């Protein structure tokens, strides 16, 4: 293994005199050596033959797989409000599950009135122990009042709370858009299908928990 060794000399300074001038004179006092070398599991630093500390090597990287989907089960909670958008998001999600070999019988779809109702149902599904991840789909479009802000903020924070309280990944697939054109563009239009993207996130998170973080 490669190693790097360095010898250091500690010195003492005192004052002498030459031709009436006081000059610094260096006298060796002590020597010690330090070596740094690669070892299994990290980098060791040794001083005077004694190991002083260990620098850990690179840590393991745990990543969810989108190809190991066998046995994973998913629930999709969908808001009926703005169904012209949410149904397109759902179609994108279901197509993604199929593309990544998730069996149709391993996906349950639950409809709720609106995005505000999604978090409660998501948490209940997470607590059931039947699913590896919950996908939450909705569409909140700004109107003339502040109702948009209340629903958008509450639904987003509610989905996060459902994840934390149930211990099951709850994926946010709720659009918050300024107008219907923006929403449709993100439901299969020129901006892609955010339902499909959220489904892919659900697969990766389900795999991460199942294969690496399972208690």
Same domain, 94 and 9: no
Same domain, 110 and 167: yes
Contact by Cβ (8 Å): 67, 203: no
Catalytic residue (choose from 61, 147, 211, 212)? 147
pLDDT at residue 50 in the model:
64
pLDDT at residue 200 in the model:
98
Q: How many domains in the chain?
A: 2
Same domain, 83 and 18: no
pLDDT at residue 6 in the model:
47
Block mean pLDDT (10 aa), the chain, length 215:
46 48 53 51 58 63 89 98 98 98 97 98 98 98 93 97 98 97 97 98 97 86
pLDDT at residue 65 in the model:
86
pLDDT at residue 68 in the model:
87
Same domain, 48 and 92: no
Same domain, 168 and 95: yes
Same domain, 37 and 119: no
Q: Side by side, which strands form the sheet with 170-177?
A: 107-112, 74-79, 133-141, 170-177
Closest CA relative to residue 86, chosen from 153, 183, 158, 171: 183
pLDDT at residue 214 in the model:
83
Same domain, 122 and 84: yes
Indicate the pTM of the whole model.
0.73
Same domain, 173 and 89: yes
pLDDT at residue 67 in the model:
87
What does each C-alpha distance from 137 to 53, 62, 158, 166, 202 come to in angstroms?
51, 27, 13, 18, 12
Same domain, 24 and 112: no
Residue 212 annotated to the active site: no
Residue 111 falls within a domain, yes or no? Answer: yes
> What domain range includes position 43?
3-56
């Amino acid at each position: 293994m490669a190693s790097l060794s360095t010898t250091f000399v500690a010195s003492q300074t005192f004052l002498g005199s030459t031709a009436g001038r006081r000059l610094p004179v260096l006298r060796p006092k002590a020597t010690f050596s330090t070596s740094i070398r690669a070892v299994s599991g990290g980098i060791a630093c040794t001083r005077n033959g004694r190991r002083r500390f260990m620098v850990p090597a690179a840590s393991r990287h745990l990543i969810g797989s989108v190809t190991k989907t066998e046995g994973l089960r998913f629930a999709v909670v969908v808001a009926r409000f703005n169904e012209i958008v949410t149904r397109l998001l759902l179609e994108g999600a279901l197509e993604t599950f199929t593309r990544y070999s998730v069996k149709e019988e391993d996906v349950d779809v639950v409809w709720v009135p609106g995005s505000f109702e999604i978090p409660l149902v998501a948490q209940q599904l997470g607590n059931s122990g039947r699913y590896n991840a919950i996908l939450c789909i909705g569409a909140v479009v700004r109107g003339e009042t502040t109702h948009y802000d209340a629903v958008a903020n509450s639904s987003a924070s509610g989905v996060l709370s459902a994840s934390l309280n149930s211990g099951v990944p709850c994926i946010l697939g709720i659009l918050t858009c300024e107008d219907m054109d923006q929403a449709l563009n993100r439901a299969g239009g020129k901006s892609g299908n955010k339902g499909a993207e959220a489904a892919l996130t659900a697969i990766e998170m389900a795999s991460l928990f199942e294969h690496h973080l399972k208690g």
